[in-house]
Amino acid sequence: MSPRQATLFHRHKDIFIVRLVRFVLLPLFILFAGNAISHNAGTALAGGITRSCDSLIVFEGANVNNYIKQFSGVTDSRSSFDEAGKMLALLVQLDGLYSQIGYGSLGYVYIKTDGDDSPSCSNKQILERIKGERCCSSGKLQDGKAALLLSGHFQRVKDRIYLLTSVEFLRKEMEETVSVPSFAAENTQTSFITQMPRVTVSFTPRKFTRQQLDQVANDYSDIMYVRRKPSLDEQPFKLEPFDVDGFSYYIEEVKTDWIKIRSYGYRLPSGWVKVPHDIGGLGLRELLPELYFMDATAVYLQTRIAGPALSPKRYNRHLKKFESLMKKFAERIQGTGDRRALGFLKSMYAALLLERPGPGLTKKEIKQISTVAAEAADLLPTSSQARSLAALTRFASMSRTDVSSFPVSASTLEKDLLQVLSADPANIYVKSNLEQLWRLRTVKDTSKSNWQNKKLTALRARFLGDAKVRKLIRKQPFLKDKRIQQPVEKKKLKDGI
Amino acid sequence: MSALRLITFAFLFIVVSISSASAQSLSGCSGIEGTTGPKVVLDKLEYRNEAGEIQILTSDYELELILELRSRLQNLFPDTQPLPVLCAKRAPKPDGTDFIPSLVKTLNNRNVLLEIWGTIKAGKKNGKQALGANILMMLIPVRYYEGSDSQLDFHILSYPKKEEDDLEAASIEIAFGTEFNVYAAIAHGIKALRNNSYDKAKKYFSDARIQWENALADGSLANTPTNQDLILQYIKNLEQKTITEAAADPNYSGDLVALADMLEDGGP
């Protein structure tokens, strides 16, 4: 081999090695490391990590995965934007670490976008990746589990920061519904199933100064000390949360006022961290009250996903936590967007109260639920789901108070649901609830009113012609009574299908 | 060249100049041409002190307005998320005569739903700081499809002076009150109806009606030369029109018509 050939050979060899590392070994390492991390939260109590839009991670063992997308936006200085915008989203991630301990397994993923507004960083594509519908993420959301995405539009003018955040959530392969007992028949379980309002909310824009943000960052930074044992007498090691690669950890153990974290980064220490008594006292939540909303939503999801596995005592503890977070958010409402967000929380609260374990809802309890659902509908006047929930719980409350009021309360509910449907004609839940109500009326309405006219019979047949409506009706428990009259049209339709 | 031909050329020149001037007046409005999605245009919203002088409320007032507008639009229309477009230098005349057919056509083609401008007025009431406003809104699809004879395309909202602790927050609330929600829903509904999306159109019109009825009940609407009941009737007519058109469309298979039939006598 000539010297020239040798030089060329070595050059090509170097290029080959660089390419091998860059395009083969590194992606493989990321893939395997990601999978290992995604399973960690199955045993860990919570975890947080920083990833880019196209290499997302899902903590498969966590009931709820929270995603905080780096805020997009513009500023008068690109570098300062990167710094302040990133710090803000990292603070949100850090805040989550402390606020959710004790309410189930959670994942916190900080999505690094570098201010990138490309389609791969759109909320739609991120949610599709989390669900496993789009390539590629390490792990995918399990059926029934939830993901919450916080994104924001950040603008900084000199030392003033403006932030518009929005939150949306999804549950994998599961409609978010709640069952409302009818109380229309004694000693029988007849209920309605209604859809929860789809949570996608933009909060009232926030405004604060760079100094305020720095102060909050300092406050968080000051408490980030890791110790070998859960004792203040132990020597502390400083944990820098605003590291260039973000703050990546998972929680191994929890004791009163202390959490044991294990860092994913080799340069970051692991050990015990003292949890502040009042997370609100660190100031971030005064700047961003939506964090109370996010926490409340996470508690709601944790509670509903855990469902029957929770003891009544534990369920009530979750409920108290939700109430407290909702109250704190309500106290900090700044405008229209926040009022809408409170409407979502109220409807979640009604659902949690409806599903509270116990011997059965008392008159007082169902009345309270009805009031909460009505408040939610007032705050979400154009949500057909919120209006349905209010109408159904009002009916339940009336029936629970006085069973003999059935003819009047049924007629009112019928009108309410038809009004909701006329504004949202594709809503299959309202259709199936109407059918459920009509079946109840067939059995329970002794008023001899001529409510089963031709128009109604035709409408019932039309609804029952929809396979999705029929499927929903089958899911709804109904009193077992031979007197129930199936509409003739349904039988015909069944025969024809 | 005959005098007639000269007059014709002069006339054409004027028409072309006016058209291009209309288009130019939108040239500084970033985002208006960018996407085909629905948009709401926020023009100049002046802030005047008690002496009637133009003042700066805060240095970032426009930014705060546009962020609030973005938030409102995301909440009102989560599925379509109309884009807020700031045209801070554009100030149409208070009588709406700037909206000549060529400009309205341009705006409608660019999927502009609503254009907003006006004046916020600070002052005193009972010795305390107070705020009033004149907000003007042009519903582009209404003007385009119904023409300038429509009484419901252009709205002048007058808010009498009211004591306010926080002028800045109050001025933002005034700019995007219930009327904004309702007019944006009407404009969105008209667009949906033109695309034969009857269920969507009905949803938008019903949303508009519910909000208008609620505001009528709690008396929170601004003063306006247009009768408030007339607007309610207009929305109801749009709902009825949607059902009529759905009934006449052989491709429509939804339940709107059957439901309307059921509800026409006040339900079963």
| pLDDT tens, N- to C-terminus, chain A (497 residues) | 555 665 555 556 555 554 544 444 434 433 444 444 454 444 445 666 777 888 888 888 788 888 888 887 755 444 445 577 777 877 887 787 777 665 666 777 878 776 556 777 888 888 888 888 887 777 778 888 899 999 888 888 888 889 999 999 888 888 899 999 988 876 567 889 999 998 889 999 999 998 999 898 888 877 778 899 998 899 888 776 666 556 677 777 878 788 888 777 666 678 888 877 777 777 899 999 999 999 999 999 989 998 888 899 999 999 999 999 999 999 999 989 999 999 999 999 999 999 998 888 899 999 999 999 999 999 999 999 999 999 999 999 999 988 788 888 999 999 999 999 999 998 999 999 999 999 888 888 776 667 777 888 888 999 999 999 998 888 877 655 433 334 444 444 343 32
C-alpha to C-alpha distances, A73 to A117, A157, A189, A353, nearest whole angstrom:
9, 11, 53, 40
Question: In this structure, is the dihedral angle defined by the CA atoms of residues B96, B100, B103 and B104, taken in order, positive or negative?
Answer: positive
A2 lies in some domain? no
Shortest Cα–Cα distance, A215 to chain B (Å): 23
A331 lies in some domain? yes
Residue A347: count of CB within 10 angstroms of its CB: 26
Radius of gyration of chain B from Cα atoms? 21
Q: Do B202 and A425 touch (CB under 8 A)?
A: yes
Q: Is B189 helix (H, G, I), strand (E, B) or coil?
A: helix
Name residues 115-144 of chain B within 8 A of A (Cβ).
none
* Segments making up each domain of chain B, as ranges: 3-263
| One domain, residues A454 and A378 | no
Residue identified by tokens 């519904």 is: A177
Q: Which of A422, A430, A441, A456 to mutate to test the interface with B (most CBs of B within 10 A)?
A: A422
Q: Do B254 and A421 touch (CB under 8 A)?
A: no
Boundary (domain end) residue, out of A369, A384, A401? A401
Residue of A181, A194, A180 lying closest to A428 (CA atoms): A194
Boundary (domain end) residue, out of A351, A379, A401? A401
Boundary (domain end) residue, out of A401, A427, A460? A401
What's the mean per-residue pLDDT of chain B?
85
H-type alpha helices, B77-177: 101-109, 140-146, 167-175
Q: What's the rounded Cα separation, in Å, for the pair A434 and A417? A: 7
| One domain, residues A81 and A168 | yes
Shortest Cα–Cα distance, B56 to chain A (Å): 16
| One domain, residues A361 and A472 | no
Query: How many domains does one find in chain A?
Result: 2
A483 lies in some domain? yes
Radius of gyration of chain A from Cα atoms? 27
- Residue in A207, A414, A424 nearest the CB of B203: A424
Average pLDDT estimate for B112-118: 94
pLDDT category, B265, cuts 50, 70, 90? Answer: low
Give Cβ neighbours of residue A71 (< 8 Å, ≥ 6 apart).
A85, A88, A89, A151, A152, A153, A154, A163, A165
Q: Which residues of A are less than 8 Å from B71 in CB distance?
A: 164, 202-205, 336-337
As a three-state string, the secondary structure of chain A is CCHHHHHHHHHHHHHHHHHHHHHHHHHHHHHHHHHHHHHHHHHCCEEEEEEEHHHEECCCCCCEEEEEECCEEEECCHHHHHHHHHHHHHHHHHHHHHHCCCCCCEEEEEEECCCCCCHHHCHHHHHHHHHCCCCCEECCCCCCCEEEEEEEEEEEECCEEEEEEEEEEEECCCCCEEEEECCCCCCCCCEEEEECCCCEEECCCEEEEHHHHHHHHHHHHHHCEEECCCCCCCCCEECCCCCCCCCCEEEEEEECCEEEEEECCCCCCCEEEECCCCHHHHCHHHHCCHHHHHHHHHHHHHHHHHHHHCCHHHHHHHHHHHHHHHHHHHHCCCCHHHHHHHHHHHHHHHHHHHCCCCCCCCHHHHHHHHHHHHHHHHHCCCCHHHHHHHHHHHHHHHHHHCHHHHHHHHHHHHHHHHHHHHHCCCCHHHHHHHHHHHHHHHHHCCCCCCCCCHHHHHHHHHHHCCHHHHHHHHHCCCCCCCCCCCCHHHHHHHHHC
Q: What's the rounded Cα separation, in Å, for the pair B192 and B150? A: 19
Better-predicted residue by pLDDT, B137 or A78: B137
A96 lies in some domain? yes
- Residue in A164, A452, A459 nearest the CB of B71: A164
Q: Which of B243, B255, B264 to mutate to test the interface with A (most CBs of A within 10 A)?
A: B255
The two three-digit tokens of residue B157, written as one number: 């909202």
The residue of chain B nearest to residue A200, with distances taken between CA atoms, is B78
H-type alpha helices, B46-118: 61-76, 101-109
Q: Is the peptide bond between A53 and the residue preceding it cis, with omega within 30 degrees of 0?
A: no
- Residue in A205, A382, A455 nearest the CB of B71: A205
Interchain CB contacts (distance < 8 Å): A and B: 106
- Residue in B72, B76, B267 nearest the CB of A414: B267
Shortest Cα–Cα distance, A190 to chain B (Å): 23
| One domain, residues A330 and A429 | no
> What is the value of ipTM here, to two decimals?
0.85
| One domain, residues A380 and A427 | no
Q: Which residues of B are less than 8 Å from A418 in CB distance?
A: 259, 262-263, 267
Q: Do B60 and A382 touch (CB under 8 A)?
A: no
Q: Could you tell me how far CA A290 lies from the centroid of its own chain?
A: 13
A452-462 CB burial, b ≥16 within 10 A, e <16: beebbeebbbb
Give Cβ neighbours of residue B102 (< 8 Å, ≥ 6 apart).
B18, B19, B22
| One domain, residues A288 and A431 | no
Q: Is B36 helix (H, G, I), strand (E, B) or coil?
A: coil
Q: What is the structure's pLDDT at A263?
A: 75
The answer to whether A426 and B254 have CB atoms below 8 angstroms apart is: yes
The answer to whether A192 and A439 have CB atoms below 8 angstroms apart is: no
| One domain, residues A171 and A148 | yes
Long-range contacts of A358-363 (CB under 8 A, 24+ apart): A358/A312, A361/A181, A361/A400, A363/A397, A363/A400, A363/A401
Q: What's the rounded Cα separation, in Å, for the pair A47 and A55? A: 17
Q: Supply angle C-alpha B114, B82, A159, rounded to 5.
A: 100
| One domain, residues A337 and A413 | no
A415 lies in some domain? yes
| One domain, residues A426 and A376 | no
The two three-digit tokens of residue B224, written as one number: 């306006």
Q: What is the structure's pLDDT at B221?
A: 85
Query: Cβ of A425 under 8 Å from any chain B Cβ?
Result: yes
The DSSP secondary-structure symbol of B232 reads: H
Lowest mean pLDDT among A31-35, A475-479, B55-59, B246-250: A31-35
| One domain, residues A292 and A167 | yes
Q: Percentage of chain B with pLDDT > 90?
A: 45
A18 lies in some domain? no
Shortest Cα–Cα distance, A465 to chain B (Å): 11
Q: What's the rounded Cα separation, in Å, for the pair A356 and A352? A: 6
A253 lies in some domain? yes
| One domain, residues A363 and A447 | no
Q: What is the structure's pLDDT at A395?
A: 96
Q: What is the structure's pLDDT at A319?
A: 95
| One domain, residues A394 and A408 | no
Instruction: Please give the residue range of the domain that contains residue A452.
Output: 402-497
